[in-house]
Structure 1
Amino acid sequence: MSTTVGLSQTSSKGIKATGSVIHQLRIYGIFDSNKTAFHERFRDHAMRIMARYGFKIVATWESRHDNHTELVYLLEWTDTETMKERWEAFMADQEWADIKKVTAEAHGTLVGDIEDRTLELTDYSPGGRLSN
């Protein structure tokens, strides 16, 4: 007879918090040789244009992982559909396309690999929001 210690016997149904926001974790591989140009573009242009489309950036970090530099940032959304619609609008923005072209010509490729994760709060998460 096996015994499970410390694990709840409750059903896995309902582990997603209902009515809560969702978060999106984005991780960009950036290059040490031109990371200043990357940060300037993200800070001065991407964030401004994202705000135009209702992006709510909770926080941004620079990180080192596997000896590579990364920009990590967290977004907050009301729902998945809104997230998808806003990303489509941002990626189709002509000003953003022009800025990416000009900065790539001046500094080379600014972004390597991109990781994207949608995070849904569990019903046992300590809070329903990470920001005000």
Structure 2
Amino acid sequence: MRFNRSLFALALMFAAGYVVGQFSRADLAAQGSGQKVFELRTYYTLPGKLPDLQTRFRNHTTKLFEAHGMTNIGYWVPQDEPAHSNTLIYVIAHESREAAKKNWAAFGADPEWQKVRDASEVNGKILEKAPESVYMDATDYSKIK
């Protein structure tokens, strides 16, 4: 069965609506009065490297995202093969599209991130190709804004 990114992205958005229950409305509102921009990112790893990527995210990346103004919404792996063994999909939020650009620039220049990335790739590169990114606006009927 071929992995269908569109259907998976739709499922993620339903899941993100569910996950928002973990955040209070006050928490989300306190992050800014403008409408947030959400970013759906998909990573494809080289064979056998998904555990290395997950370890990097679990132990370092999510904390560094927060330090650089990004809000972690959720992280998923597909249930079906072949994507299950090499795909990580997540949603983060930024204050705005311009903020996203600044957040990513600061994150990429962070010496701690560079050290973590290099250490995690000591036995070879993790990613098969550059991550895919889609910026999204919440609809007026979305529970998360």
TM-score range, shorter chain: 0.7 to 0.9
Which of the residues 50, 70, 77 maps onto 1:62?
Answer: 77
Partner of 1:13: none
> Are the equivalent residues in 2 in contact too, given 1:20–1:128 (CA < 8 A)?
no
* TM-score computed with the length of structure 1 as normaliser: 0.73
> Are the equivalent residues in 1 in contact too, given 2:39–2:133 (CA < 8 A)?
yes
Distance 1:116 1:64 in 2: 21
Distance 2:128 2:79 in 1: 14
Aligned with 2:38: secondary structure? strand
Which of the residues 90, 93, 96 maps onto 1:73?
Answer: 90
> Are the equivalent residues in 1 in contact too, given 2:42–2:88 (CA < 8 A)?
yes
Partner of 1:11: none
> Are the equivalent residues in 2 in contact too, given 1:25–1:119 (CA < 8 A)?
yes
Q: Which runs of 5+ in 1 are unaligned?
A: 1-18
Change (3 A) 1:49 1:26: same
Q: CA deviation at 1:103?
A: 1.4
Give the number of the structure whose residues are more often helix, by fraction. Answer: 2
Aligned-residue sequence identity (percent) comes to: 22
Give the number of the structure whose residues are more often strand, by fraction. Answer: 1
> Are the equivalent residues in 2 in contact too, given 1:21–1:128 (CA < 8 A)?
no
- Matched positions, count: 109
Partner of 2:107: 90
Distance 1:119 1:66 in 2: 27
Partner of 2:124: 108
> Are the equivalent residues in 2 in contact too, given 1:25–1:74 (CA < 8 A)?
yes
* TM-score computed with the length of structure 2 as normaliser: 0.67
Higher radius of gyration, 1 or 2: 1
